[in-house]
Structure 1
Amino acid sequence: MSNTPRYQSLNGSISTQKGAVLIVVLLFLVLIILVGVIAVKQSTTDLRLATSDQINTLLLQSADNANQNIEQGVNGSSDADVYTDMLSRTGPFGHFILDTNSTEHEYVFCFRPRGRFFDINKTTINTKDGNILGNDIGYCNPSTAADYISDRNASMTQVNISLTAPSANNEVFSSYTVGQDSSEISSQAFMFDINSTAILPAYSGKADAAKDCFKKTSRVGTVEDDEDAIGGCMIEEGVPSTVLYEMANVENLSMRKNCVDFGKGAGVVCTLPTS
């Protein structure tokens, strides 16, 4: 009889130890699961950051590529076709230079570097009232393969050009070329706002979101709500985008000369043009 409690006590100790081991194992399993979840979340976060960085780099390159081509077109040979198109009355710069009624206009075209990056027949001119002069084929369209930067159909860039608004901080006579007759158009310098908007349509939530946003103005100072401008609309619709702004000075440099001791005997180095 005296041995029975001893066996019972031994059996109870073994059961208690088995239960403790089970609890410890469960705790280790929970810890392992938590570590795994944290690792997966961290990997997902790193992947998103890497993807975001790649997207931003691609968008910046797309927008900057448009600005570089425009600069090369204007600063290049005056005999080139693209120079003639851009400085003609229906071109993005000539329209403002040669048309005195174009002050409040906005010139729009889709950047297509796979061919001739600027097609004068595929442009749109917006007025300050929101009307369109001509047609609306200057806007980029995500459903049009030719509007993409490359055959991969990944990114596209739309260029909006307008005259820089007058400012009291501008230097006096800064709008004229030194040494030329102020009454001539060729002697005037024009400041332009160039906004190049690059997007990735494939990452947008709606198929037509980017198309509708491209039809909005790039002149942020003329709208009350950010969503009424291209950049703000893209953000509101969840379209990955970058708007690269550049201020460009366009003036006639072919006759610009620096005169030393002008009009003083033999020290005359150059003379002002007669016309």
Structure 2
Amino acid sequence: MVHRYYSSSATGKNINMNMTYRSSERGATLIVVLLFLVLIMLAGAIAVRQSNTNLKVATSDQINTVLLQSSDSANQKLEMMINGSPTTSEYQDVVSVAGVFGHFLLNPNNAKNEFIYCFNPRTKRYLTANATVRQPDGGYWSSMNSGICDYTKAGDYTSARQTVMTQMSVTVTPTSPNAERFGHVVVGKEVEDRTSKKYKFDIRATSALPAYSEPKVSSDKCFEQTSIKANVAANKKSLNECMLAATTPSKMLYEQADVENVSSSTVCIPFGKGTLNPKCVLSPTS
């Protein structure tokens, strides 16, 4: 009796082939799943990175807005005082010999000085007693050096939250060679009269957030540096350059203003009606 094993062998071969096919199928599935996992991870990483970028952009915009508002507030305060009535105490203060504008208007020898004070809406900081008056050579006029903002003092911040600090710098705009002759003289006043002068001023309001990064480079505190680039000493930085080097968020708002002292002037606008002020009528000559 002869036994044949072809069927069994064929069956065995089929089984082996099926097992090999299933093993290859499982490997391909694993690779596809891994690829999907990698894609999901990449998508997640991109989403996280995009979210961080959006957050940084939003934070930067908020910081920029806060700094701009603080600098603008300091400028507006100064504008309100000088544009107000000459009879107000605030006007009298700023144009007095100790005031931020009077320091220049009443003494031409001070024209190259830099009047610095730390802006605080709750206190008066625009008088020399609370100011730093820097001279071009780096010294201080009459030893006046009380206006530099100190980020370690709560009273030097613009609000009780101790977030923003704003320092003001007021200087006379350098005279242009093409300037109008006698353009600095107030109309209707004598040239010799100290109150008859008017000047164009450069006003710089620099706001910063010391909480983000200490405004200091090595041993140099940024707020102690001059805002006038032409007055920067050798191997030193200007206020803006120091803030940038210290990576302290800051913004400087610059504006020019024409200021004249009208505290002792007489306004003569008759418009053809009424009685003129006697001071507005020229005395008849004999």
Q: TM-score, normalised by structure 1?
A: 0.87
Which residue number corresponds to residue 113 of structure 2?
Answer: 105
CA contact (8 A) 1:149 1:156 kept: yes
Which residue number corresponds to residue 179 of structure 2?
Answer: 170
CA contact (8 A) 2:98 2:127 kept: no
- Structure 1 residues 171 and 119, CA, compared in 2 at 3 Å: closer, same or farther? closer
Q: Which moved further from structure 2: 153-162 or 247-256?
A: 247-256
CA distance in 2, matches of 1:37, 1:121: 57
Which residue number corresponds to residue 196 of structure 1?
Answer: 205
CA contact (8 A) 2:82 2:91 kept: yes
Structure 2 unaligned spans of 5+: 1-8, 272-279
Which residue number corresponds to residue 128 of structure 1?
Answer: 136
Is 1:34–2:42 an aligned residue pair? yes
The sequence identity of aligned pairs, in percent, is: 41
CA RMSD of aligned residues (A): 2.6
Which residue number corresponds to residue 213 of structure 1?
Answer: 222
Deviations 1:204-261 (A, max 9, x none): 1x3645981111111123448896211121111111111111111111344355799x
Equivalent residues, number? 264
Which residue number corresponds to residue 55 of structure 2?
Answer: 47
Deviations 1:49-96 (A, max 9, x none): 010001001001100101110111122233433323211212211111
CA contact (8 A) 1:66 1:111 kept: yes
- What amino acid sits opposite 2:64 in the alignment? N
Counterpart selection for 1:183 from 182, 187, 192:
192
- Structure 1 residues 107 and 166, CA, compared in 2 at 3 Å: closer, same or farther? same
- What amino acid sits opposite 1:153 in the alignment? Q
Deviations 1:121-167 (A, max 9, x none): 31111111101232422100110001111111100100011111011
Alignment of structure 1 residues 214-233 onto 2, 5 Å? 214-223=223-232, 228-233=237-242
* Secondary structure of 2:109 counterpart: coil
Which residue number corresponds to residue 255 of structure 1?
Answer: 266
